[in-house]
A and B are shown apart, each in its own frame.
Chain A
Amino acid sequence: MKIDVKRVAKLANLELDDEELPKFEKQLEEILSYFDKLKEVNIKDVEITSQVTGLENVIREDKAAPSLSQEEALSQTKSQHNGLFKVPGILENE
């Protein structure tokens, strides 16, 4: 199985140096070929397991409780402005 590491890295918002690509490509293709093992398993009509607790629709009362102050919430950021998180723009200005 071929994997276009550069393209997938971009999807995952990772920037890789071009010289790193061949190493990751080789390692990941080796891992993906190992996954071929699963082709021999008969999974016809087998349901998926995405969690193992058997719990369904766990809810709790919607009750307010103490939470972080604005100061605490901002204490770990290097990117703030006027007491708010500053994030990169999504929409371009005309």
Chain B
Amino acid sequence: MELTSSCLEQIEKLNPEINAFITVSELALDEARKADELRSNNQELPLLGIPIALKDIYMTKGLRTTAASNVLRDYIPQYDATVVRKLKEAGAVILGKTNLDAWAHGSSGENSDFGPTKNPWDREYYVPGGSSSGSAAAVAANLCAAATGTDAGGSIRLPASFTNTVGLKPTYGLVSRYGIIAMASSLDSIGHFTKTVEDSALFLNITAGNDPFDATTTNKELPDYTKDLHKGIRGLKIGIPKEYLAMGIDKKIKENFDNALRQIEELGAEIIEISLPHTKYAVACYYIIQPSEVSSNLARYDGIRFGNDRSYFGDEAVRRIILGTFTLSAGYYEAYYKKAMQVRTLIKRDFEQVFNPPAGGVDAIIAPVSPTPPWKLGEKLDNPLRMYLSDIFTTTANLAGIPGLSVPSGFINGLPAGFQILGPQFSEKLLFQIGHAFEQTQERKILDI
């Protein structure tokens, strides 16, 4: 209850400026009170009384869910997403719903019909990264203990690296997509933001697992992700993709990344240069496949069963629907959509080869998340292609379906930076182990506002 009240106070104080929340739940204090009662009855639940926020693309029964679009401005879902149900059952208190680029289309948080979210580290000028902009900002500014996100092309990892938070994009199919408004169904990964790697592992223990309502979820038996966190990384083989560093990367980001690399080497890991030759095609491949799936998923919004009609779509949704409809249309399907699905195979194979143990493969890969530090509000808004190119290092993981963990690695001119750890499908436990070991070498900087 104390935790929840202090978060609600912080929201009241800072949300008008940061715009991280679209809706604050009126039930939060009641839920916190109930959690206290359960606790005094010695009930043990992993998240009992922990105040969290949900990206406003997760359906919440009785609590408005907008996808940050005017199409769903007044929509109140009749059921909970599977992940929301699991989090509630684990005892979490739902503080409210966070801002995003409408329908999760964007890399800056500015495409929201509810106004842009500001980066808590510079609330005047800078974007927090997107599309899970509000969740990242809310965790960074201590408006909540943890928050959920979705990552179809970097929408968790990018904002995590811009806000000094830990962001997990799980393996495709590890966490249920049921009840989360679909963006690109073959790419959408359901993850979260936390303050530490350990919290991230704890959160995944709750959200991961098979769901009969999502046929793409795995049947594998899953580990306790918090186990072996402290095992260290001595002897692990960590790959550095040479293509990532050759592709027009900001000097300061390169410096920051090199520092992280040195730390990892000092922790006893072996650093190996690797090659992912099809990396340079990832953005083109992604921005064909993703809008194609978007145009199909957004076709259902006709304003009949719920929501407003199609004239309420914002510019970015219109662009992606038109682009996707075009690349799927007769005469262009082979040249665009089919070709992109073939290139996707090559990108996926690149990873399979570098992770292949008999061929002396690496255990994991580390790489920068964003090619530049956070940019200014408005800077890329009129140039969609430039905005898309911010996803150059993140889209590959979604195309291949592998997990990625974004970990803070210090600051550049007062703004946060981070790097990502990528591993084979279902290697989250190893990613946490590496991330945690690195985190212990860093001075923890908490935003004091």
Genuine A/B complex: yes
0/1 interface trace, chain B 351-376, chain A, CB 8 Å (1 if under): 00000000000000000000000000
CA–CA, A3 and B215, complex, Å: 36
Which residues of B, 74-115, contact A by the 8 Å Cβ criterion?
75-76, 78-79
CA–CA, A28 and B384, complex, Å: 9
- Whether A5 and B322, one on each chain, are in contact in the complex, defined by CB atoms closer than 8 angstroms, is yes
Choose one: A8, A53, A78; the contact of B322 (CB below 8 Å): A8
CA–CA, A72 and B373, complex, Å: 46
CB distance from B194 to the nearest CB of A (A): 25
Which residues of B, 283-322, contact A by the 8 Å Cβ criterion?
283-285, 287-288, 295, 299, 302-307, 310-311, 313, 318-319, 321-322
CB of B345 closer than 8 Å to a CB of A: yes
The stretch from B4-12, B333-341, B404-412, B413-421 touching chain A is: B333-341
CB distance from B299 to the nearest CB of A (A): 8
CA–CA, A48 and B64, complex, Å: 39
CB of A19 closer than 8 Å to a CB of B: no
Interface residues on A, range: 35 or more
| Chain A contact residues, majority secondary structure | loop
User: B residues within 8 A CB of A85?
Assistant: 304-305
| Chain B contact residues, majority secondary structure | helix
Closest B residue to A30 by beta carbon equals B385
Closest B residue to A5 by beta carbon equals B322
- Whether B343 and A38, one on each chain, are in contact in the complex, defined by CB atoms closer than 8 angstroms, is yes
CA–CA, A13 and B15, complex, Å: 36
Which residues of A, 30-51, contact B by the 8 Å Cβ criterion?
30-32, 34-35, 37-38, 41, 43, 46-51
User: B residues within 8 A CB of A37?
Assistant: 280-281, 284
- Whether A41 and B278, one on each chain, are in contact in the complex, defined by CB atoms closer than 8 angstroms, is yes
- Whether B78 and A77, one on each chain, are in contact in the complex, defined by CB atoms closer than 8 angstroms, is no
Choose one: A11, A14, A55, A86; the contact of B318 (CB below 8 Å): A14
CA–CA, A58 and B176, complex, Å: 14
- Whether A14 and B340, one on each chain, are in contact in the complex, defined by CB atoms closer than 8 angstroms, is no
The stretch from B33-41, B246-254, B323-331 touching chain A is: B323-331
- Whether B307 and A28, one on each chain, are in contact in the complex, defined by CB atoms closer than 8 angstroms, is no
User: A residues within 8 A CB of B323?
Assistant: 28, 31-32
Closest B residue to A47 by beta carbon equals B345
CB of B400 closer than 8 Å to a CB of A: yes
- Whether B339 and A27, one on each chain, are in contact in the complex, defined by CB atoms closer than 8 angstroms, is no
- Whether B284 and A68, one on each chain, are in contact in the complex, defined by CB atoms closer than 8 angstroms, is no
CA–CA, A38 and B282, complex, Å: 9
Closest A residue to B307 by beta carbon equals A76
User: A residues within 8 A CB of B321?
Assistant: 12, 14
User: A residues within 8 A CB of B78?
Assistant: 68, 72-73, 75-76
With A27-B384, A77-B305 in contact, is A46–B322 under 8 Å at CB? no
0/1 interface trace, chain A 1-22, chain B, CB 8 Å (1 if under): 0010100110111111000000
CA–CA, A35 and B306, complex, Å: 36
Closest A residue to B389 by beta carbon equals A34
User: B residues within 8 A CB of A11?
Assistant: 325, 329
0/1 interface trace, chain B 157-175, chain A, CB 8 Å (1 if under): 0000000000000001100
CA–CA, A11 and B318, complex, Å: 12
- Whether B348 and A27, one on each chain, are in contact in the complex, defined by CB atoms closer than 8 angstroms, is no
Q: Which residues of A contact B (CB under 8 A)?
A: 3, 5, 8-9, 11-16, 24, 27-28, 30-32, 34-35, 37-38, 41, 43, 46-53, 55, 58, 60, 68, 72-73, 75-79, 85-87
The 9 closest A-B pairs by CB, nearest first: A52-B401, A76-B306, A48-B341, A58-B215, A43-B342, A49-B344, A12-B325, A49-B345, A46-B342
24 residue pairs bridging A and B, Cβ less than 8 Å apart: A8-B325, A8-B326, A12-B325, A13-B302, A14-B313, A15-B311, A31-B388, A34-B284, A37-B284, A38-B281, A43-B346, A46-B345, A47-B342, A47-B345, A52-B400, A52-B401, A53-B172, A55-B173, A55-B215, A55-B218, A58-B215, A68-B79, A73-B78, A87-B304
